[in-house]
Amino acid sequence: MYLPRCRALVAVIAVLIFSLPSLAQSKAPSLTLAVDATEAPRKIFHARLTIPASPGTLTLYYPKWIPGEHAPDGPVVDLAGLKFTGNGQTLNWRRDLTDMYTIHVEVPAGVTTVEASLDYLSPAGERGFSEAASATARMTVVSWNQVLLYPSGWPADQITYRASLRLPEGWEFGTALPVASHSGNEINFQPASLYTLVDSPVIAGEYLKVVPLRPAGEYPPHEMDIAADSAAALDAPPEVWQDYRNLVSQAYALFGARHYRDYHFLYSLSNHVAHFGLEHHESDDSRVGEDGLVNPGERKLVAGLLPHEYVHSWNGKYRRPADLTTPDYEKPMVTTMLWVYEGLTSYLGDVLTARSGMWNPQEFREELAMTGAMLDHRPGRTWRNLQDTNDSAQVLYFSPPQWSSWRRSVDFYPEGVLDWLWADVIIRQQTHNQKSLNDFCKLFYAGPTPQPNQAPMVKPYTVDDLVNALNQVAPYDWRGFWHERLTTHAAHAPLGGIEGSGWRVVYTDTPSEMSKLAEQNRKSINAEYSVGLALRDDGTIVDAVQGMLAANAGIGPGMQVVAVNGRKFTPEVWHDVLKATKTASGPLQLLIENTDYFTTYSLNYHGGEMYPHLERETGQPDLLSDIVKALPAK
Ligand SMILES: [Zn+2]
């Protein structure tokens, strides 16, 4: 969605990809946008815009397709208080009858500027992405796409906004958006394109910690801007900051280039905002619980988030699938290549998490074992191939956890870890360890660092570009490899990369440390690989894996286990009884409540608990340990 400028080579690609403005002879519009966030704690934002106009119909859009969310989930339902005036008169408007994000304003003769005012009703619900809860009593993240309209007819990078933001008294802020002036709680930003504005959210709060990640004066600068619901949540031990410094240097060692003027990790620590990560070219909007930095266990569980979003600055923002490179937020995004955009990012994010020290090699392997096991128990693979999880991403992002083993979900994330590990292993094998996916990264993501006065650029790619680059690193049937990965309906997960790297997935009755942490901190019980049930710690069944024992007996999602072998359900009772099935002579008896009715199910199960681990494949070289070793830092 970014129209690159000033570079002849990229301009050629851009002309092919972007539709030209319909009013090419007119000057691209310049708007002002004043956002009042002083009422963020009560979850309402006010905005005023001035929009150049001429008599007739002025067509405005509210951003619909949100970059990085790969879906038409702009929160138009939360747009309220919309009013337009021109020369002091109220102007009539009507919503487009076939597109809820399009507003038509009637502009009378003599009016050259339309003033718009609107409110954004920031939700309290925590499920979702940037459109979900984003403001608490002590902090907020302002996503500009939620508080603006833009005129039709121009690509987002040609429309200029002069934005200002007013914060609650005493709140500090962090953002990658260049600031023109800052006085008290009022910030004036430098004029920026709509593209850059939407790509540059602002984090703000009463408790805001700024942590520089590179030496002062070095270009480009890197910092963390962390807002929390308490001062105590920011008080992480020194090694945490060192890990993030390592992340910056390990990413540079991997890619050999940077494509931003400045990078800001915007990190929200709150139990009252939605938890997710959203990438931007020069920042990321990542949100975890309030104890995400100070609780060592929680820190391990969320460790992969910032590395993932940071990788996106290269993979997703700088290099972007051509069919996701749209000119504005109205044109639909096509998501056929998320297996690269998200899949490769998931793999590289995990690898960088280990290389920067946030996971040790054992923790990396435990995560990988969990990924392999989960995908190996997804019978939905037999009807929905990996390509279809890409193609239907815009609906799968909003699918519930119930039935996920049969529906599948946005599996191109975890399956990308397995597939790109496999690709990494193939390159290492084909080149006798002379090359690796690191070489592909240096080749595919090469390019100059933008100067301080240049917006970052986008270099779109196709499957052909990807296959050609892989072949330059190591000649191989890459097209055939990816075709098989994307179209197979095999019942089992692609574990060739794990096996080729010298390891295999095994199951024991002892949970790994990462499995244990996930169960404790997420209040869940993983019995998917034994009887085929995913449970919450109150016995509620989240999923019953199709084809496994519990599902075959008639148990399904939404039911609740109330007793196990005649004893009231607790997580401890569950684990004890399941473990004892190995030596028990009778069946496992589950008393289950289903919509107010109770039924006892007997499962003839004697396998004990089943938790995944990686075990060394003797005789095979241990490529996995090489992969997670830190690179010589730059
Ligand atoms: Zn991502």
For ligand 1, the distance from its centroid to the CA atom of residue 276, given in whole angstroms, is 10
d(CA 337, CA 350): 20
Structure tokens given for 53: 């106009």
For ligand 1, the distance from its centroid to the CA atom of residue 203, given in whole angstroms, is 19
Q: Model confidence over 35-47: pLDDT tens digits?
A: 999 999 999 999 9
Q: Model confidence over 193-237: pLDDT tens digits?
A: 999 999 999 999 999 999 999 999 999 999 999 999 999 999 999
Give the 3-state secondary structure of residue 93: strand
pLDDT category at 504 given cuts 50, 70, 90 is very high
For ligand 1, the distance from its centroid to the CA atom of residue 308, given in whole angstroms, is 6
Backbone dihedral angles phi then psi of residue 580, each to the nearest 5 degrees? -75, -10
Instruction: Calculate helix-pair angle for 513-521, 361-375, nearest 10 degrees.
Output: 70
DSSP class of residue 29 equals P
For ligand 1, the distance from its centroid to the CA atom of residue 169, given in whole angstroms, is 34
Burial class (CB within 10 angstroms; exposed 0-12, middle 13-18, buried 19+) of 510: exposed
For ligand 1, the distance from its centroid to the CA atom of residue 452, given in whole angstroms, is 26
For ligand 1, the distance from its centroid to the CA atom of residue 413, given in whole angstroms, is 8
Q: Model confidence over 280-293: pLDDT tens digits?
A: 999 999 999 999 99
* Maximum separation of any 2 CA atoms in the chain, in Å: 89
d(CA 625, CA 503): 10
What single letter denotes the amino acid at residue 361?
A: P
For ligand 1, the distance from its centroid to the CA atom of residue 390, given in whole angstroms, is 13
Backbone dihedral angles phi then psi of residue 117, each to the nearest 5 degrees? -130, 145
d(CA 518, CA 444): 35
- Asked if residue 200 lies in contact with residue 282, where contact means CB atoms within 8 angstroms, the answer is yes
For ligand 1, the distance from its centroid to the CA atom of residue 342, given in whole angstroms, is 5
What pLDDT does residue 481 have? 98
d(CA 572, CA 391): 41
pLDDT category at 360 given cuts 50, 70, 90 is very high
| pLDDT-wise least confident of 20-24, 93-97, 185-189 | 20-24
What single letter denotes the amino acid at residue 260?
A: Y
For ligand 1, the distance from its centroid to the CA atom of residue 316, given in whole angstroms, is 8
For ligand 1, the distance from its centroid to the CA atom of residue 98, given in whole angstroms, is 31
